[in-house]
C-alpha cells in the first residue's frame, strides 16, 4: 500500500472521466507535500492520457521533462484534476517531472480552469 507520494510524482489512480466512467490512468501529483501532511493524505492529481481530445487543454509531455520516459506519447490534460487520498494511489512509477517544467504545467492548469 502506498503511504506517501511527492509533488511532481507520476502515479496511477482511478480517474472519474467526464462521462462518469472510472478508468485507471497515470497522473501528476500537483498538490504540495505539506497539504498531504496537514490534510491526512489528501492529494490533487492531474490526468495524463495518450489521447489528445481537446488540444487547447493539453500539454504534450516531452521525455526530457521527466526523470524517465513515458511508455508512449502522452499529454497532461490540464482541465481534469482529481482529489484523492494517498491510499487510493494504485501504483507509483518512480518517475517525476523535472522542477523547471512543473511551473509551466501549473500555469496551464490555472489558465485552463480559471481562464
Answer yes or no: are the C-beta atoms of 48 and 80 closer than 8 Å: no
In a domain, 101, yes or no: yes
Residues 30-43, mean pLDDT to the nearest whole number: 95
In a domain, 4, yes or no: no
In a domain, 2, yes or no: no
Range of the domain at 58: 9-108
Answer yes or no: are the C-beta atoms of 41 and 88 closer than 8 Å: no
For residue 50, pLDDT over 80 is answered with yes
CA–CA separation, 103 and 110 (whole Å): 11
In a domain, 61, yes or no: yes
Torsion of CA 44, 107, 65, 30, to 10 degrees: -10
CA–CA separation, 104 and 110 (whole Å): 10
- Residue-wise pLDDT for 52-104, tens only, equals 999 999 999 999 999 999 999 999 999 999 999 999 999 998 999 999 999 99
CA–CA separation, 104 and 33 (whole Å): 19
Could you tell me the CATH number of the domain that includes residue 57? 2.30.30.110
The domain tally of the chain equals 1
In a domain, 26, yes or no: yes
Q: Answer positive or negative: Cα dihedral of 33, 38, 43, 44.
A: negative
Nearest in space to 33 (alpha carbons), one of 2, 10, 66, 8:
8
Q: What is the pLDDT of residue 88?
A: 96
Amino acid at each position: 500500500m502506498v503511504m506517501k507520494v511527492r509533488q511532481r510524482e507520476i502515479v496511477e489512480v482511478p480517474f472519474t472521466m467526464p462521462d462518469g466512467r472510472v478508468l485507471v490512468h497515470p497522473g501528476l501529483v500537483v498538490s504540495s507535500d505539506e497539504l498531504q501532511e496537514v490534510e491526512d493524505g489528501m492529494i490533487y492529481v492531474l490526468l495524463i492520457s495518450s489521447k489528445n481530445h481537446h488540444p487547447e487543454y493539453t500539454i504534450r509531455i516531452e521525455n526530457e521533462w521527466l526523470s524517465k520516459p513515458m511508455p508512449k506519447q502522452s499529454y497532461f490534460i490540464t482541465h481534469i484534476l482529481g482529489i484523492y487520498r494517498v491510499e487510493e494511489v494504485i501504483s507509483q512509477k518512480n518517475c517525476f517531472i523535472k522542477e523547471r517544467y512543473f511551473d509551466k504545467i501549473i500555469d496551464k492548469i490555472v489558465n485552463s480552469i480559471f481562464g
